[in-house]
Structures are given as structure tokens and as C-alpha cells.
Amino acid sequence: MPVPVIPLNAAGLDIENESMRIIDAEVPEPRPFDETQWPVVRRMIHASADFELMDLVRFHPLAVAAALKALQSGCAVITDTRMALAGLSARLYDPLGCQRYCLINDPRTLERANVSGSTRAAAAVDVAAAEHRDAIWVVGNAPTALLRLLELVDAGRVVPALVIGMPVGFVQAAESKQALLENESIASILVRGRKGGSALAAAALNALAGMALQAATKPDPEDA
């Protein structure tokens, strides 16, 4: 297959479109994801150049529909790290009215972590949960954040619209995502095993936000 030559002065969108074309070509149909799931997985592959994600990404059956409904209603989005927060593009979320938060450095989080002896990531979940019962949660780094969120779900303290569970690493990362996968009451998108990261988690939600924004701005055929 000839390697496409992209001019050095090419626009960013041109490069992105060519990247997506290459991904589509390297993962021909039929794919193990439906037409609403594939844009999410493709965006994650684009962010990581990791085609092993084809075997690792798991969707709850209601995940995409739940995400689009929540995003179009202007839901809050909670991330476990500043890095994940930085990866959520304002051009996608501002038009939808979705506020994004990361409370890892919030003074209330620091105080709770000091008192309880928990990680700041877990303490931040408690602080955010008190204010955002039905948010979308984006966990790309901290297994303790995901495990604490699951505890709050079991206790009935939060009812997430969607959980993107992609903590990365060797300690409790795979286990926390397995626990999320086994909780069928939670609409979720996750990466099984040790892989994950803030960039992947943000990419997944960005893909969904793009879909939600496109649907929200699509002209009504009756108005044509």
C-alpha cells in the first residue's frame, strides 16, 4: 500500500481526515462494533495508534444512547485528572452547555483525603458526587477513583449517566475496570486490562460529544 504524502503545510483537519481514512482502511468491515460505537473506537485508535484496542474496548449496550442523551441535555462531566480535563475540547462541550470539572486539587478534596487517609482521586469523587448525582464520569488514570465511584453507585448516592472507565497501570487498574464491566446497571465504556489513560478516556468522550453536537445541529427535514 503506498504511503500517502501529506504536505508539511497541510491543515490539521486534512491530517486528521487522512488519519481516519487510514484507520478505516486498516480495520475493514465487518467490524466488532456497530455504527454508533465505531466512531468512538476509531477516535481512541487515532489518539493512541494502538489497534489492540479493537480487542479491549467494551461498550454497555446502552452506553452510546445514554451518553448522547446526557450530553444533549447539558450534563456535567467529571474527570479524575487535569490531563483528562484538558483533553475535553471546549468547542464540543460549550455549545452543548456541558460544564467540565476536575476536583483533584479542590481544597475540599485535600481536606477529605487528609482526614480519611484515602487517595486524592477517591476523595475528589466524594466531593464531586455530592454536587453532581447524574454526571458523566471520565476516569483515565486513577483506579481508586473508579472503585470509589462504584461504591457510591452501590450505595445509591450517584446514578451516572455514563462512566468511561480507562484507568491505566498495574495496581488495581484491570480489576477496577472488570468490576465496572460486571456492574450491568451502569452505562459504561471501558478498556479491559492494564491499558488506558487520560488521552484515551478524553478521546472517547470527545467522539460522543461530536456525535451529540452534530445531531443537535442537524437541520430538521420538516423545516427544509
In a domain, residue 149? The reply is yes
In a domain, residue 38? The reply is no
For the four alpha carbons of 158, 163, 169 and 174, in that order, the dihedral sign comes to positive
Q: Are 188 and 164 in contact (CB under 8 A)?
A: yes
Cα 84 from Cα 224, distance rounded (Å) = 39
The CA R_g of the chain, rounded to the nearest whole Å, is 18
In a domain, residue 111? The reply is yes
Q: What is the pLDDT of residue 1?
A: 44
User: Looking at 33, 38, 46, 95, which residue is catalytic?
Assistant: 46
Cα 20 from Cα 142, distance rounded (Å) = 29
In a domain, residue 46? The reply is no
Give yes or no for residue 5 having a pLDDT over 90: no
3-state secondary structure of 106: coil
Cα 141 from Cα 180, distance rounded (Å) = 15
Cα 224 from Cα 96, distance rounded (Å) = 23
CA 38-40-45 angle, 5° bins = 90
Render pLDDT for 132-154 as a digit per residue (tens, 0 to 9): 999 999 999 999 999 999 999 99
Question: Which structural domain, as residue segments, surrounds residue 148?
Answer: 56-216
CA 219-164-216 angle, 5° bins = 10
What is the CATH number for 87? 3.40.50.10230
Residue 221 DSSP symbol = G
In a domain, residue 48? The reply is no
Structure-block grid coordinates of residue 203:
478521546
216 band by pLDDT with thresholds 50, 70 and 90 = confident
CA 174-24-66 angle, 5° bins = 55
Q: What is the pLDDT of residue 53?
A: 97
Give yes or no for residue 224 having a pLDDT over 60: no
Would residue 60 show up in a list of annotated catalytic residues for this protein? no
219 band by pLDDT with thresholds 50, 70 and 90 = low
* Whole-model pTM over 0.95: no
**What does pLDDT average to over the chain?**
93
Whether a cis peptide bond, with omega within 30° of 0, leads into 39 is: no
Q: How many domains, in total, are found in the chain?
A: 1
